[in-house]
Chains A and B, each alone.
Chain A
Amino acid sequence: MTRRVRIGFFLPALAGFAALLVWAYTGIPSFGDYQGPYGFVINRISTPLRHMDNAVNSTTYDIRGIDTMGEEFILFAAVIGVVLLLRDEEGRSEDVEDDTGSDVIRIFGTLAIGAAVLVGLWLVSFGFVTPGGGFQGGVAIASGALLLYLVAGYREWSAFGDETKLDPIKGIGGGGYVVIGLAALVSGMPFLHNFFSGGVTGSVWSGGSAGFVNWSAGIEVAAALVILFSEFLEKYIVPIAKSR
């Protein structure tokens, strides 16, 4: 099938799809006229019942924690796929000279690394109080790690982006999530039930066992993204090392 024929087939199909979408959208409640009860119920119960100010994260890590576990497994599987495709048997290339020349970038970049990691840790720890949580905090921590490569160079990064250390950390994050769920199960409660729903509302110690779920998600996301950066950087660095 040539390109022209394919687009010829596609355009009528696209018009049909667009018509279906318009038809479907005219059937749903108009914008701002929210009907479903779940949002209102969760907004009502998350603070009195779970001691969480952030209703979004009480959904993510507690009330619908099992959905998040599924998402974590997708993330886990995707990272394993990337590692299988990109990781070489040859091992790491250590003798790469791609250091940053500019002192300004070094100074401000080093400050930015500290800031990014600190913001990340803050986002995870106060996930049940203010906007944030394990997913967002994990991304911030991982971006701090990537900044290390940008401001210092590959040699400094490779000490940190070491897969023999990162793979177990990622496993602990993903496995910890399931272990917390199973801990509730062996105590005679439903899987991933929040089994000590105590804590002080509005503090780091809020959220009960969902706090551990939050941290395991943060650890897994941070480690997973650093592994991704590490694999793609290695793929980019090896040709540089060989050309010297």
Chain B
Amino acid sequence: MSFLPYAVAAWVCIVGLYGIVTSRHLIHLALCLTVMQSSTYLLLLAIGYVKHGGPPIYKGVKLGTTSVDPVVQALTLTDIVVSVTVIALILALALDVHKQAGTVDPDEIREMSG
């Protein structure tokens, strides 16, 4: 019985969430969001792991060899690329906020809009 990878995923998720709530800078907030998102990759890959399993790629490997789950890997690899573009969108919004409000501190923005 081993739950260590799950515990790491939970820790990364909580650290990211704490960073988002206490953030004083929109770019820092966006990076905390990526940290939180990374916890889902850890959790997915941990769930798909098969004991003593190899990579699910059969070039030069006999078919039927114990391998890890390819489905969670497919989910993870597409989401890593997609998350980059979503972060780019958030950073573009942060640039826009800076232009409109003159600050990137979430607390000050709220005070200005009153």
List the interface of chain A (C-beta within 8 A of B).
3, 6-7, 10, 14, 17-18, 21-22, 25-26, 28-34, 36, 38-40, 42-44, 46-48, 53-60, 64, 67-68, 71, 74-75, 78-79, 81-82, 85-86, 129-131, 133, 135-136, 138-139, 202, 221, 224-225, 228, 231-232, 235
Contact = CB atoms under 8 A, between A and B. Distances in A.
A60 B77 contact: yes
Contacts, number: 169
B85 A79 contact: yes
A36 B100 CA distance: 50
B81 A138 contact: yes
Interface residues of B, number: 54
A231 B17 CA distance: 29
Contacts of A221: 81
B14 to A, nearest CB: 6
A101 B78 CA distance: 38
Binding site of B, secondary structure by majority: helix, strand, loop or mixed?
helix
Interface of B: 1-7, 10, 13-14, 17-18, 21-22, 46-51, 53, 55-59, 63-64, 67-75, 77-82, 84-86, 88-89, 91-93, 95-96, 107
